[in-house]
Structure 1
Amino acid sequence: MTIRWGIVSAGKICSDFVNAVNSYPNKGDQEIVAVAARDKKKADEFAKIHNIKKTFGSYEEMAKSGGIDVVYIGALNPYHYVLAQLYLSNGKHVLCEKPLCMNTQQAESLIELAKKKKLFLMEAVWSRFSPAYIEMEKQIANGEIGEVKFLEANLGFFSESDRVNKKEYGGSAVLDVGVYVLQLAQFIFKEQPIKIDIVGNVNEDGVDYTETIILEYNGGKRAVLNTHTQLQLINKATVYGTKSRITLKPPFHFPHKIICSDGLVKEFKLHQSKIPYNFENSAGLVYEAMEVARCIREGLTESPRMTLAESLSLAILETTVREKLGVRFNCDIY
């Protein structure tokens, strides 16, 4: 069974996703067959670079077309909800870039629609499918660092992009990079925090550009998470247990090296591509595509490694952070 992908938008992250899948030698029976953009010329240029057969000048046209099983949505944040709705409503499975939606209410609505349609939906938290994350999870499960008590994670980049800094484009540190630190805490502790403390700053456009998030869990467990969109941080994460620790080396949101519980460095090499990537370690995007294809073939409507319940939990945390900092979008209800 060939899994046929449609690509929604022709921007940088979509280019990296297609490049990662097309250049991976062991991708199995899946093919990228179409791309849609609001500007047909951009879709045509994208298709020429990536050798995609079919192009569409509107998202609606591709949604209503046949021959596509699943779409990857890489449009700007404010369009995730409406585009995912569009494709689910037209019978397509959906892999949507993070954040899944702009707020909790949208995430609840989208998840409800996917369940009603009995279609696959996943937030593209590619970190979960990293070989380094899988190795870390194995070492923790084996008790190699003892009981996990503390997590420290930093993720910050300097960006002048309107996508990050302007409210009309869905800019927000917690939505752009904060999702990665929050999902890591979720992945490590596997429970809801009992207390959330936040300190942050907001720019002149009303968009958060940095925050320190402290999550408290039962049993004295804690996560200290730092985000920034105006400073380059050392983007690593360390999980501390009662016996030892594990460090995900930069970039921790998709690392290719970890310092194991015994202090040794383990490397996970990524495959090569002839086409340059726009973002660091983007070759790793193929692993989430592999998971989506596996789930669809097995008749699953969500991934056990990135469940819909976890995406809803992330949306709640992201919305809580924004509420505490006074960052509001037009789509917000609170």
Structure 2
Amino acid sequence: MATRWGICSAGKISHDFVVALKTLSTEDHQVTAVAARELRQAQEFADKHGIPKVYGSYEELSIDPEIDVVYVGTIHPHHLRVGQLFMNAGKNVLIEKPLAMNAKEVKELVATAKKNKVFLMEALWTRFFPVSVEVRELLSHGDVGEFVLMVYRGERPESIQATGYKLDTGVDGHMVIVLKFSHNRMAVCTCSISMMLTNDAVIVGTKGMIKIPDHMWCPVTLEVNSKVIRHPLPEPCMPLNFTHSTGLRYEAADVRQCLLSGLKESSVMSLSESSLLAEIMDEARRQVGVTYSQDSNH
């Protein structure tokens, strides 16, 4: 039986997610309904993608008995409220990254999932790409020796030690982050909205090197000790809003397998790791003096 998806929000990322689902077998995945804050937007989305049921509110979608899991594609300031709405209605949910605004909101979402005994996962799609799976296997098998250093230059930094630079507008322009691990291992992440960076990653081991070229957060190629390995994506059936978005198919496939196995979280992107990631980001923001209104709410 196919996994029946409900789509929450009719925005750009939801469009790409539905297009990605169409690269998978219809025997495994079907989009049953879409909801938006305005019925007109939901109807336009449904007409474009051939979705049978349309709702003008998230509350209506939450009580649809023919939905197995809801994909939440709203902007992240709404993830806590919307995620809790669906989980309190007994729905399994896949929530776009970041899971919430800060670590306390993530803990609230996790607590809601456990209380209602439903599945919850942060849609950190990078982890599910075949390239990412292969990198984890290479590191676990020691193909490049012991991990020493990772260098990332692109758009999504995660850190403990950080230095930032603000544009004249007050917006953080770039950021350099150093994450320190045991045994003198390190990761250096550089992010900028004002400079053109390479958007790649290099993983250095004691016996070799793994290179992941642009775009490393949705990778289709890797280089292991000068050997190039490719994992091409299926072609989309309609234009996409973001690079390599058919790669969203991999996280959707993992969700289906988890649900079939009766799991309440994914081993690839566990709830404990989502909590840890949020805590790291909270600390990075603290060090550079960035606060959200949601921080004071707690």
Compute the TM-score of the two structures, normalised by the length of structure 2. Answer: 0.96
Q: Which moved more, 1:241-250 or 1:201-210?
A: 201-210
TM superposition shift of 1:202: 3.8
For the 8 Å contact 1:5–1:69, the answer to whether it is kept is yes
CA distance in 1, matches of 2:209, 2:128: 21
The number of residues matched between the two structures is: 297
Residue 189 (structure 2) aligns with: 225
Residue 10 (structure 2) aligns with: 10
CA distance in 2, matches of 1:136, 1:214: 21
**Helix, strand or coil for the counterpart of 1:211?**
strand
Q: Unmatched 5+ residue regions in structure 2? A: none
Residue 239 in 1 paired to residue 238 in 2?
A: no
For the 8 Å contact 2:4–2:32, the answer to whether it is kept is yes
Residue 41 (structure 2) aligns with: 42
1:251 corresponds to which of 199, 206, 215: 215
**Helix, strand or coil for the counterpart of 1:290?**
helix
CA distance in 2, matches of 1:232, 1:35: 36
TM superposition shift of 1:2: 2.3
- Could you say if the C-alpha distance between residues 305 and 28 of structure 1 is closer, same or farther in structure 2, counting changes exceeding 3 Å? farther
CA RMSD in angstroms comes to 1.5
Residue 84 (structure 2) aligns with: 85
**Helix, strand or coil for the counterpart of 1:88?**
helix
For the 8 Å contact 1:258–1:265, the answer to whether it is kept is yes
Overall identity of the aligned pairs, in %: 38
Residue 288 in 1 paired to residue 251 in 2?
A: yes
CA distance in 1, matches of 2:169, 2:70: 32
Q: Unmatched 5+ residue regions in structure 1? A: 157-176, 183-192
Alignment of 1:71-150 (within 5 A): 71-150=70-149
Alignment of 1:174-253 (within 5 A): 177-178=156-157, 182=158, 196-203=160-167, 207-253=171-217
CA distance in 2, matches of 1:204, 1:327: 16
TM superposition shift of 1:208: 3.2
CA distance in 1, matches of 2:254, 2:168: 40
Residue 318 (structure 1) aligns with: 281
For the 8 Å contact 1:202–1:325, the answer to whether it is kept is no
- Could you say if the C-alpha distance between residues 328 and 271 of structure 1 is closer, same or farther in structure 2, counting changes exceeding 3 Å? same
Residue 331 in 1 paired to residue 291 in 2?
A: no
**Helix, strand or coil for the counterpart of 1:48?**
helix
- Could you say if the C-alpha distance between residues 62 and 140 of structure 1 is closer, same or farther in structure 2, counting changes exceeding 3 Å? same
Residue 240 (structure 2) aligns with: 277
Q: Which moved more, 1:84-93 or 1:57-66?
A: 57-66
**Helix, strand or coil for the counterpart of 1:4?**
strand
For the 8 Å contact 1:207–1:327, the answer to whether it is kept is no
For the 8 Å contact 2:2–2:26, the answer to whether it is kept is no
**Helix, strand or coil for the counterpart of 1:318?**
helix
TM superposition shift of 1:322: 1.3
Q: Which amino acid aligns with 2:83?
A: A
- Could you say if the C-alpha distance between residues 79 and 204 of structure 1 is closer, same or farther in structure 2, counting changes exceeding 3 Å? farther
- Could you say if the C-alpha distance between residues 204 and 108 of structure 1 is closer, same or farther in structure 2, counting changes exceeding 3 Å? farther
- Could you say if the C-alpha distance between residues 152 and 49 of structure 1 is closer, same or farther in structure 2, counting changes exceeding 3 Å? same
TM superposition shift of 1:210: 2.3
Task: Encode CA deviations 1:199-236: one digit per residue, 9 max, x unaligned.
Answer: 01345675534211101111111000111223331100
**Helix, strand or coil for the counterpart of 2:82?**
helix
Residue 20 (structure 1) aligns with: 20
Task: Encode CA deviations 1:250-290: one digit per residue, 9 max, x unaligned.
Answer: 10001111001x31111111101220111111010000000
For the 8 Å contact 1:63–1:87, the answer to whether it is kept is yes
For the 8 Å contact 2:36–2:58, the answer to whether it is kept is yes
Compute the TM-score of the two structures, normalised by the length of structure 1. Answer: 0.86
**Helix, strand or coil for the counterpart of 1:245?**
strand
- Could you say if the C-alpha distance between residues 207 and 100 of structure 1 is closer, same or farther in structure 2, counting changes exceeding 3 Å? farther
